[in-house]
Structure 1
Amino acid sequence: MTAQTPPTPPFRDPQLPFAKRINDLLSRLTLDEKVGLLHQFGPAVERLGVAAFRTGQEALHGVAWMGPATVFPQAVGLGATWNPELVRRVGEAVSREARAMRARDERVGLNVWAPTVNLLRHPLWGRNEEGYAEDPKLTSAIATAYTRGLRGDHPVYWRTAPVLKHWLAHNNETDRDTTSSSVRPRVLHEYDLRAFRDTVEAGAVAGVMPAYNLVNGRPNHVSPHLRGQLRTWTDQELLVCSDAGAPSNLVDSEHYFDTHEEATAAALRAGVDSFTDHGTDGSRIVARVEGALEQGLLTEADVDTAVRRQLSVRFRLGEFDPGADPYAGERAFDTPEHRALAQEAAEQAVVLLKNDGLLPLAPGARIAVVGPLADECKLDWYSGALLHRSTPLEGIHERFGPARVEFAEGVDRVLLRTAAGAFLHVPPAPEAPGAARGAEGALDPALVAGRTDLPPLATDAAGTELALVDWGGGVLTLRAPDGRYLSVAEDGYVRASADQPGGWIVQETFRLEPHGDGHLLRHLGTGRHVQVAADGVKVAEEDPEVFGLVVVERGEDAVARAAARADVVVVVAGNDPHINGRETEDRTTLRLPAQQELLLRAARAANPATVLALVSAYPYAVDPAELPAVLWTAHGGQAAGTALARVLAGDVSPAGRLPQTWYADDADLPDLLDYDVIGGRQTYLYFEGVPLFPFGHGLSYAAFSYGALTARADAAAVRVSFTVTNTGDVTADEVAQLYARAVRAPVPRPRRELVAHRRVTLAPGETAELSFDVPPSAFAFWDVAAGRWRVEPGPYELLAGASSEDVRLRTTVVLDGEPALPRPVLERGLDAADFDEQSGTEIVDRSRTAGDAVTPVGGKDGELLFRRCDFGGGLSEVTVEVSGEGTVELSLDGGPALAALSPGSPTAGPYAYVTLTAPVAAPVDGVHDVRLGLRGPLRLARVGFSG
């Protein structure tokens, strides 16, 4: 007899719908196999021919952490282009490279964790570089474009599967796994959820990643909004991947649950489908899930739901249809097209903040290029390794000719003298001299922090002159003459072994601490002081060396000399993305580092024709008054220097626009943990001060006029059109921006809000007519009284122009809508978090699984105000649901207290609510403002009224 070929299982049949195939595969998996798939590194199921799978491949602005790849501008730089079509092409290039890299290295994943859609609410956030904008409309437009590029355009199969980060209201790194963002319903819906929602509804998102922080007292990894909001926005299966280590945080740092079994079960039921915890070791997550199943905290159906979502992504990626996957043969990597796109993106990201006519530079100008970032092409935590690089100095050399360019880094050159009179000495590296940089300027990959085969620092009579760079806040790096940074390896010895500062814990930063007549040198990565020992220089807990600091040359002196010999000075200042503002570390000030301010003053004093080129991951507060020209660009990836030089030369007219407000002073900023953009008057939407540079600002080498604004409203949209004309003498891009403002708002509304924009290229004298269909939803706000979106009827002003403050045209349309009605409190009562105004309170979790309550900050006193509450024919008593201890006082219209309710003794815990009822002291009817005073450490969940 001839052996028969076993039938093809339905999950392998490409003719069947994915849903049937997933159900078939799910039915064939054992419970143990399904539980194993819940970890980030899901093992293979060999008996079914199912391969191992990992969630998570960082791809924020290029494929990261997997070696060389095309490096595009940072996300905030992509946001500064205001160009969704460009960003879509960047996403497409990144996904092509991910596929090409996976073809030769299976560790490269296709479930990409990008983009970051957290809004840039606060410019001191350490991860500012990862977001696109402070505005939800612009953020969602750029994020949607990037996800479409990552997804690909095939109707069935996806090139990569993008996961949005980080759900939800995450803008602080300090204590990020234990701090809670107090987010009132209007801010939640109108601001934080909105960027996620618009991007998900566009249809190219595979999932989201919850953030480390808590929102309203509840960790994001058990957020009810995953189910109540996210999964209602699309009919596709969305994969929720935990952030690294966050499942364990639920017990270990947040103490939200008593056991890991409880925590894992709660996260899975809330909607987390893949657990990123304990690196590649899935055994602990598996044990926790198995324990939760044994304890009845989970059912197999809960596990099936999560695994089904994972399999949905894997099927869409073509894993089970290698013959039909249109992207299986993708090999586009470091192509000429990708290199050109990296340069185009870097050019479009440059923002001209000020120009008194100094730019573009004259072709024959003698240029001094100075500053600590002038000859740097900095990477960040989410970059790939550079295949090519271009620093500002290299770009200007190439564009203007090296004979016309002089360079001064502007850092102090120092010797460190020991108490015995010797000096720190850097032994030569085993590499040949000049080998630190290879072809096309790429750094030698052998110079890696953590190496222990290089000799540690020693001492001798002459010493080695070190470049000391002060990055602000007393944080220093020290660099040997051949470019090697001083670093500390695991054995504790100090070596010159790093090509750049970097790593999860940066080992290349130090601090000089005054001590007697000298200084102690503290290594920030270990917290220990540097010690000079017989076997070499190391860090240790005891016997620190007291160093004398000998300044061989001051950086400002070198800058002044170079500036005095030049026709124009370009000062390149900014940040290193691994220092003073990065993941795990927020900034403390908007100011430039003091050493960089000193260099800028020295250059300006020596030569008034000084251009400040800021290369940074975030805004700075700089005084542009005495500077004829100021530019800003994010760290622009591999083509950053070329792009900046082409803008300086006038080969490209700058057209980047600020994606967030640049404030003039730290005093303009709210507290980093104040997430109430409405009450705190934050971002361009609500800020009432005078910004240094407003949202949407950016100048050009051309000039543009606006005209012929028309607007008409119908049931489907507000249809707006206007013209833009290039009145200058060079071809240039203009970013036309359309804002809206409610003229008569019953609640605080934005001063103006971006509703549409378009970047257009216009030749001299050319006119473009721009048309926009603005949906009615763009004019809506979240009505806390009704618990839904509502458009207030009445006039709305439309403002067209070149920035949020540079308005050229205005008109008004009148919209129908739903008039506001008083709150029917006798029928519905009041949820405490649905206040109109508050002072001294924060929102906390009503229970571990759902709902909000309100408590006074610090357990002291707070006030809640609910406007226009309708008591109908009469109110006789009030009821409150509270926990804790303290008193709730009720008053109307600013009058005396009509009722006071207190549990008398503390309740059994924060979630042990009691219902209290009290009569009101005087008859009440009609419509009134209700004020509730919260006295003491209590939680108020709800208020009821009866006649």
Structure 2
Amino acid sequence: MRPLADDDVQPTTPTATLEPSDHAFSRRARALVEQMTTEEKIASLHQVSPGVPRLGLAPFRTGTEALHGVSWLGTATVFPQPVGLAASWDTDLVRRVGDAVATEVRAKHAADPTVSLNVWAPVVNPLRNALWGRNEEGYSEDPALTAEIATAYCQGLRGGHPAFWKTVPTLKHFLAYNNEVDRAVTSSGLRPRVLHEYELPAYRGPVEAGVVGAVMPSYNLVNGRPNHVARELLDELRSWTDRSLLVVSDAAAPTNLVEAERYFTSETDSHAAALLAGVDSFTDHDTESGPTVKHVTAALEAGLLTEEDVDRAVVRLLELRLRTGELDPGLDPYAGITADEIDLPEHRALAREATAAGVVVLANDGVLPLLGPDRAAPTRLAVVGPLADRVLHDWYSGTPPYLSDLATALGARLSSTEVTVVDGSDRVGLRARSTGTYLSVSEPDGTVTATADRCGPAEELDVTDWGHGVVTLRSVATGALLSGGRWIVRADASRVGGWVAQETFRLHRHPDGAWSVQHVGSGRWLRVQHEARTLVADASTVESAERFDLRTVRSGEAAVAEAAAAADVVVVAVGNDPHVHGRETEDRPDLDLPRAARALWRAAREATDRAVLAVVSSYPYALGEIADEAAAVVWSSHAGQELGPGLTDVLVGDVEPRGRLAQTWVARTEDAGDILDYDVVGARSTYWYADTRPLYAFGHGLGYSTVEYGEVTAAVSTLQVQVDDELADDAGPARPTGQVPAFEVSVQVENTGSRTIHETVQVYVALPSGHPAGSRRRLGGHRQVTLAPGEVRRVDVTVAPAALATWDARAERWHTEPGSWTLEVGRSSADVRARATVTVAGPAYPDLVSGSTVDAVAYDTESASVLAPRTSSHGTVVGIRPGARSATVTFDRVDLTDVGTVVVEAARWGAGRAGIEVTLPDGTRHTLPAADAPDPADDAWASVEVTVPETSRTCGTLTVRLEGPARLARLTLR
């Protein structure tokens, strides 16, 4: 049966007693809660709830993983990784992918009603730093593009019915989560500008669009407070919509509040705080709900919670369930989706289309496409490298119905071409010194024993080096990977996988030339048992490990060089295994291509100058000189079951390249910056601020034709900062929003080449010089257009108001700087083809004057500071970074002309001497004592006054220096 697509959905005629709508669902949810006992309500707060049969409520669980297809529930279509979907810059395509995934979730639910229609996708953390282990799960380093792509995917997941949802999407992971190292205990420092300009917009877009029903907080802390008890952030999130939003915890996060983060001393307190902050559903202790019930019940009995607090969360949960049609199967327009609507032909075709759309041609000297009107297919083609004939999974991949690799797809498309495939692995035999015999793989169970006197196919292992000493070992005889996770080593794995990968090893060479092997997952070394001679992973030290003599049967580099020398063109397919060096729980050690991959490239390139580098990866690489040596460079994400055909479509020219980078490829690892520094303004990171020259810029991507850009015009020459209809009070003046209206930019684009081209016209906006935010550019808008050879078209692009706005942390509102703004139009953030200007009219960035109060976090620059909680539940203050003796923060544009006193609100937070030094704009310094630390419960901070002499009443920068355990809350000018 064909799945219901959005266009097929017709509003169902409601009965006289039921009108499906958000308002109706809210009323019904409240009515159900009124009929539930306290025990039934508390039991509903766990991820896995028992249901209430007397009210028609079946057992329920939150969360079906659906990042780029249905995960962990058997066969399902696997679409490209999110970072690959985003490279299409095509919201309609991404919406269709979301719709197909929702159909398959519904099909799984039809087969098993316990499969939740609440899907835990998408991930909308902006890709701030390419070292992040979960880079593949996000969309873009630009928050606006992230919001666009996320909104489109959620639109598909949600469906088009006005009341009933096909599935209910959940945004992950709120907020400021871009590191795996110590992820449950690290604090992301977000000053207000970074929070409002960079982090929140990625979430706000899909929430305001009405296509999100739930949000999951992240494991980390923000400004010293765990996200699962960050009420101010969750309140901000819910303020963007009138619809109910369910907040579900991440797995084990409630326990982390006490055990890992030690933010609370008891789970009674932590559960109460999380529920009061806005968490509605606790994902903890796997399927065991007992601890959650126990702790919430104790909090209720202790008076930390009221029953209304519990009711509020249960109502939200029931509203989500009502949206799915669970209680109205006769009205649910998606109820007809059947269990067999998995791996449909149209889903296969869509997966191939999405794969091709996300392929980015990064460089090309003319070797691509491989076919064309004036170009015959190569007679001999070599496809080499570890990803030449492999399609790899990531942690959130589903189980694909089939896999089609690059070499196979190229061979099928180029039927008259002789295609040679070499994976580049070294083929070796390992002879145990303790027995004098070779390791051999036994069939059918794959047990490895040191029993062979000679080295034949059963004794040969293909060694693939994934970098930093980590390898996989594949049996030549059986094709299976060696796995060491169950003590006895067996060749029984089809791929690397699992929460802790069991198929990776390290090779250690001893001074005498012998080798030992360590199993990475367990940390144990391999040993050959006495008598039985079975290979086991149980040695605790390298000294007790078996020593092997390694015999090289075949050199991977030599095989690649031989194949490349005999070919007209060689495609070198390299990249990462998504379970190695960059995944959930593990950040990348660097951005470099693995040493072994570089060696394979070198072998191919020295054999021929017609070498194409095909990078298949979850993230960008710093390619170094390889980028200049390659005849062409193309990139694809791990695109799932149609990786081979989709990538082939672009390589041979059956599909014109349309992919554009949604994330900068920096030139060096150090250019990525500190993975734990979330202050993109102060760190000057991301393409918004970076001063370094990238390898490939944000938005970059080539076609197989050429384009020229003509004159740029803006629909308006002057933009007036808007004023909304909301009043400051009943009689007060209108409050300005601080933003300009959206406006159109028009540019003429001509295809000057001989092939059709898919062009993504990008408009960036650049701040007026002298703006306090510093120089930078942001994506203002983009539009895709297809041009035939010789075609000229005028393309209109809408520029979003947010692209020109900065957050005024002093006034806690948006501000758009008046002056002349530059509009940069081109093919990427670095390839600007035409410019225009537009004038913004509005108030200048305000000075701090007499009567002003400013929070310390609204500083302009800082040194060695850290953001910390004002109290355990609310507020943020400035302290001193651990390990530093002092910190400074500065406040620009301070006008002390009419100021007699600067009031400093501060405290001594902990033992030791604390000091505060205030330097006025004229350079006059005033040293103040810091009061003792307040009781966090009463928020009683001390105020210390600085008298401003007549001679110091000037304009300029005010600096506050903190020493020891001092913390600064705010300043007031009187």
Matched with 1:503 is 498
**1:710 CA drift (Å):** 1.5
Matched with 1:5 is none
CA distance in 2, matches of 1:285, 1:12: 34
The question of whether the paired residues in 2 share the 8 Å contact of 1:881 and 1:913 is answered with no
**Over residues 202-227 of structure 1, what are the superposed CA-to-partner deviations in whole Å (9 max), with x where a residue is unaligned?**
11011211111111111111112443
CA distance in 1, matches of 2:38, 2:65: 30
Matched with 2:379 is 365
The question of whether the paired residues in 2 share the 8 Å contact of 1:218 and 1:848 is answered with yes
Matched with 2:80 is 73
Matched with 2:919 is 891
- Cα RMSD of the aligned pairs, angstroms, is 2.1
**Over residues 851-892 of structure 1, what are the superposed CA-to-partner deviations in whole Å (9 max), with x where a residue is unaligned?**
111111124211100011233423245332223251110002
Task: Determine which of 280, 285, 292 is the counterpart of 2:287.
Answer: 280
Tell me which amino acid in the other structure corresponds to 1:87: V
The question of whether the paired residues in 1 share the 8 Å contact of 2:441 and 2:475 is answered with no
1:657 aligns with 2:660: yes
**1:427 CA drift (Å):** 3.1
CA distance in 2, matches of 1:572, 1:941: 54
CA distance in 2, matches of 1:800, 1:408: 43
Pair 1:776–1:493, CA change in 2 (3 A): same
5+ long unaligned stretches in structure 2: 1-14, 371-375, 721-740
**Over residues 147-203 of structure 1, what are the superposed CA-to-partner deviations in whole Å (9 max), with x where a residue is unaligned?**
000000001100000001110011000110011111111000000011111121111
**1:364 CA drift (Å):** 3.2
Tell me which amino acid in the other structure corresponds to 2:618: A
Matched with 1:561 is 562
Matched with 1:158 is 165
Instruction: Give the match's secondary structure for 1:146.
Output: helix
**1:322 CA drift (Å):** 0.2
- Aligned positions of 1:263-662 closer than 5 A: 263-331=270-338, 332-361=341-370, 362-401=376-415, 404-430=418-444, 455-463=447-455, 464-481=459-476, 482-490=478-486, 492-517=487-512, 518-534=514-530, 535=532, 536-542=534-540, 543-622=544-623, 623=625, 624-662=627-665
Pair 1:11–1:319, CA change in 2 (3 A): farther
**Over residues 903-938 of structure 1, what are the superposed CA-to-partner deviations in whole Å (9 max), with x where a residue is unaligned?**
3x6777899764142443744434332100111132
The question of whether the paired residues in 2 share the 8 Å contact of 1:226 and 1:271 is answered with no
**Over residues 29-71 of structure 1, what are the superposed CA-to-partner deviations in whole Å (9 max), with x where a residue is unaligned?**
1111111111111112112221111111111111111111111
**Over residues 364-408 of structure 1, what are the superposed CA-to-partner deviations in whole Å (9 max), with x where a residue is unaligned?**
331110001111111101111111211111111111127510011
Instruction: Give the match's secondary structure for 1:385.
Output: coil
The question of whether the paired residues in 1 share the 8 Å contact of 2:64 and 2:115 is answered with yes
Tell me which amino acid in the other structure corresponds to 2:811: A
The question of whether the paired residues in 2 share the 8 Å contact of 1:102 and 1:108 is answered with yes
Matched with 2:34 is 27
CA distance in 2, matches of 1:17, 1:96: 25
Tell me which amino acid in the other structure corresponds to 1:565: A
**1:420 CA drift (Å):** 2.3
1:936 aligns with 2:964: yes
Pair 1:907–1:147, CA change in 2 (3 A): closer
CA distance in 1, matches of 2:216, 2:345: 33
Matched with 1:707 is 710
Task: Determine which of 733, 739, 757 is the counterpart of 1:732.
Answer: 757
CA distance in 2, matches of 1:537, 1:834: 61
**Over residues 795-821 of structure 1, what are the superposed CA-to-partner deviations in whole Å (9 max), with x where a residue is unaligned?**
111111111111111110111222222
Instruction: Give the match's secondary structure for 1:120.
Output: coil
Tell me which amino acid in the other structure corresponds to 1:901: P
Instruction: Give the match's secondary structure for 1:679.
Output: helix
Pair 1:202–1:909, CA change in 2 (3 A): closer
The question of whether the paired residues in 2 share the 8 Å contact of 1:720 and 1:774 is answered with yes
Matched with 1:780 is 805
The question of whether the paired residues in 2 share the 8 Å contact of 1:568 and 1:609 is answered with yes
Task: Determine which of 75, 91, 99 is the counterpart of 2:98.
Answer: 91
**1:519 CA drift (Å):** 2.7
CA distance in 2, matches of 1:730, 1:873: 68
Pair 1:833–1:877, CA change in 2 (3 A): closer
Matched with 2:6 is none
1:828 aligns with 2:852: yes
Instruction: Give the match's secondary structure for 1:26.
Output: helix
The question of whether the paired residues in 2 share the 8 Å contact of 1:898 and 1:922 is answered with no
Instruction: Give the match's secondary structure for 2:160.
Output: coil
CA distance in 2, matches of 1:422, 1:385: 42
- Aligned positions of 1:128-277 closer than 5 A: 128-277=135-284
The question of whether the paired residues in 1 share the 8 Å contact of 2:79 and 2:641 is answered with yes
**1:10 CA drift (Å):** 12
Q: Percent identity?
A: 48
- Aligned positions of 1:94-113 closer than 5 A: 94-113=101-120
Tell me which amino acid in the other structure corresponds to 1:524: V
The question of whether the paired residues in 1 share the 8 Å contact of 2:888 and 2:961 is answered with yes
CA distance in 2, matches of 1:399, 1:330: 35
Pair 1:544–1:115, CA change in 2 (3 A): same
CA distance in 1, matches of 2:50, 2:896: 61
CA distance in 1, matches of 2:770, 2:329: 56
Higher alpha-carbon deviation: 278-287 or 511-520: 511-520
Task: Determine which of 778, 799, 807 is the counterpart of 1:753.
Answer: 778
Matched with 1:439 is none
TM-score by length of 1: 0.94
**Over residues 472-519 of structure 1, what are the superposed CA-to-partner deviations in whole Å (9 max), with x where a residue is unaligned?**
1111111111221111244x1111111000000001111112334223
Tell me which amino acid in the other structure corresponds to 2:878: V
Higher alpha-carbon deviation: 595-604 or 798-807: 798-807
**1:827 CA drift (Å):** 2.3
Higher alpha-carbon deviation: 634-643 or 737-746: 737-746
Tell me which amino acid in the other structure corresponds to 1:305: R
Pair 1:832–1:11, CA change in 2 (3 A): farther
**1:708 CA drift (Å):** 3.9
Instruction: Give the match's secondary structure for 1:286.
Output: helix
CA distance in 2, matches of 1:328, 1:233: 30
CA distance in 2, matches of 1:938, 1:504: 42
Higher alpha-carbon deviation: 515-524 or 698-707: 515-524
The question of whether the paired residues in 1 share the 8 Å contact of 2:899 and 2:948 is answered with no
Pair 1:900–1:141, CA change in 2 (3 A): same
Matched with 1:861 is 886
Instruction: Give the match's secondary structure for 2:151.
Output: helix
Instruction: Give the match's secondary structure for 1:866.
Output: strand
CA distance in 2, matches of 1:296, 1:423: 71
CA distance in 2, matches of 1:52, 1:605: 63
1:807 aligns with 2:832: yes
Instruction: Give the match's secondary structure for 2:839.
Output: strand
The question of whether the paired residues in 1 share the 8 Å contact of 2:904 and 2:968 is answered with no
Matched with 2:71 is 64
Tell me which amino acid in the other structure corresponds to 1:350: V
Aligned pairs, how many? 914
The question of whether the paired residues in 2 share the 8 Å contact of 1:123 and 1:619 is answered with yes
Tell me which amino acid in the other structure corresponds to 2:817: E
Pair 1:12–1:533, CA change in 2 (3 A): farther
**1:845 CA drift (Å):** 1.3
Higher alpha-carbon deviation: 198-207 or 417-426: 417-426
The question of whether the paired residues in 2 share the 8 Å contact of 1:247 and 1:264 is answered with yes
TM-score by length of 2: 0.91
**1:295 CA drift (Å):** 1.1
Instruction: Give the match's secondary structure for 1:416.
Output: strand
Pair 1:11–1:39, CA change in 2 (3 A): farther
The question of whether the paired residues in 1 share the 8 Å contact of 2:934 and 2:941 is answered with yes
